[in-house]
Amino acid sequence: MGLILLTQGIISLLVILSLAPMFAGLVNKQKAIFTGRIGAPVVQPYYELKRLLRKETINATSASFISSISPVINVVTVAIAAAMLPIGFARPLISFEGDIILFAYVLGLARFFQILAAMDIGSSFEGMGAAREATFAVFAEPIFFFTLGSVAFISGLTSMYDIYHSVRLDNVSYIVFIIVCSISVFILAVTECSRMPVDDPNTHLELTMIHEVMILDNSGIDLFLYQYSSYIKLFIYAILETSFFYPFGVQNYTLAIVIFAVVTLILSASLATVETITSRFKMKNIPEYLLFATAIGVLNLLIYTFTK
């Protein structure tokens, strides 16, 4: 039994790690179709990663050991976070009472070193991105706890796997609650993964970008690690969203996989739609946008508790 659980956990981790670039490619492809282009193939991110892997690494002269370890820390912590996510009905590799807190904090480790690595170059380009990342993270963290945390508090469980399995769609107010929660998670995903309308993943040339500008002075395998971990991160947040649909796929292999695939596809389509039809916000409006997500999370929770 233990061995089966372990295998399931490892398989789902491998699935996340291997399919993550595909998800980003999927979003890009749909975006291209929306704007009337043919677009790069869905597997394009894999080619890009492969290309980066074979490039020479160039470090800035002012860079220190921080720049060198930060991409490594990034990819490892993101992989550890991925190992806590349940796919389908499989119990994740890392699952214990309180892993929801570890999940949030382990991503904090990645962020800490990414900000440091950006500041390591000593250029104000990266500095600007780093300052913004630090600022928006302060507002993004509460959203995570107001959404997943509130589901945890309602169910009284503190393990991600159990929390998602406690979602039961048999009560109208609970369904509404979960839907609003998923909207908040979507906003969180947009922020954390530097997508529109918070950040533009396609450019770093404007002085307005966050994630892309932080990794501006990286190349070769460092850039590979950063890119790969940002793909994984995007997929992680996508799974946070798709996992709300658990109750439909409990204890049935094929159904679970089909639901997972379909919901992921829908999610990528909605990401692509949002990115096509909206323009990026002014930087100073982003905290308001995040507070808006927090506010609907709070309201939602209050409404749910009083209608229960």
Partner 1 sequence: MNDTIVLLYYAFLIQSIPIIAIAVVQDNRKASAVTHLVLLAGLILGFSSTVSSLVSSNSTLLSFTLWGIPNQVFRFDSLGLYFLGIIQLVAIPTTIYSYSYLNHYISNGKSIRSTLVFYVLLLVSTQVLVLANDAILFLICWEVMSMSAYLGMIFEKEKREVRSGSFYYFIMNHIVAFLLFIFFLLLHHQTNSWHFSDFHLTSDSGAIFIILYFLSLVAFGTKAGFIPFHFWLPRAHPIAPTVFSAFLSGIIIKTGIYGLLRTFQFLHPTPEWLGWLVLVISMISAILGVWYALAQHDIKKLLAYHSVENIGIIGIGIGIGFIGSAYHSIPIQVLGFGGALLHTLNHAIFKSLLFIGSGVIYQNLGTRNIEQMGGLVHRGKYFVMLFLIGSVAISGIPPLNGFISEFIIYNGFFTTAKILNNYYPILMLISVVGLAFVGGLAVACFTKINSIMFLGTERKEVKQFQVSFYEYLSLGILSSLCVIIGFYPQPFIGIVTKVLNHGFVPENASSALLNINWMFISLIFIAVVLGILVVYIWKRFMQEKYGRRTSPAWGCGYERLNSRMQYTASSFADELNEISKTVLVYHKNIKKPKQIFPTQGSFESHAQDLIDSKILLPGFRKLSSLISRIEFLSYTDIRYYIAFILVIITIYSVIAFLWV
Among 44, 135, 182, 208, which residue sits at the site for partner 1 (rule: CB under 8 A)? 135
Touching partner 1, residues 211-250 (CB under 8 A)? 216-217, 220-222, 225
User: Nearest CA to 147 among 93, 113, 185?
Assistant: 185
- Of residues 151 through 180, those in contact with partner 1 by CB under 8 A are 152-154, 156, 158
- Which span sits near partner 1 by CB under 8 A: 32-40, 149-157, 194-202, 273-281? 149-157
| CA–CA distances in Å: residue 109 to residues 70, 73, 113, 133 | 10, 8, 6, 13
From candidates 34, 46, 125, 289, binder to partner 1 by CB under 8 A: 125
Cα–Cα distance list, 62 to 120, 121, 179, 217 (Å):
7, 6, 48, 11
Q: Which stretch binds partner 1 (CB under 8 A): 21-29, 124-132, 235-243, 252-260?
A: 124-132
Phi/psi-derived region of residue 71, left when phi > 0, alpha when psi is between -120 and 50, beta in every other case: alpha
Q: How far is the CB of 244 from partner 1 (least distance, A)?
A: 18
Q: Are 289 and 296 in contact (CB under 8 A)?
A: no
Stretch that binds partner 1, among 10-18, 29-37, 70-78, 176-184 (CB under 8 A): 70-78
Contacts of 113 (CB under 8 A, 6+ apart): 66, 69, 70, 73, 74
What residues from 186 to 215 belong to the interface with partner 1 (CB under 8 A)? none
Q: Which of 4, 6, 14, 58 binds partner 1 (CB under 8 A)?
A: 58
Tell me which residues in 279-298 interact with partner 1 (CB under 8 A): 283-284, 287
Using the minimum distance from each CB to partner 1, give the nearer residue, 176 or 265.
Answer: 176
Among the residue ranges 42-50, 55-63, 160-168, 259-267, the one whose residues contact partner 1 (CB under 8 A): 55-63
Q: Is 181 in the site for partner 1 (CB under 8 A)?
A: no
Contact between 109 and partner 1 per CB under 8 A: yes
Q: Does 101 bind partner 1 (CB under 8 A)?
A: yes
Cβ-based nearer residue to partner 1, 220 or 247: 220
**What does residue 156 show for φ and ψ, rounded to 5 degrees?**
75, 20
Backbone angles phi, psi at 131, to 5 degrees: -60, -40
- Measured CA to CA in angstroms, residue 47 lies from 71, 85, 98 at distances of 20, 26, 38
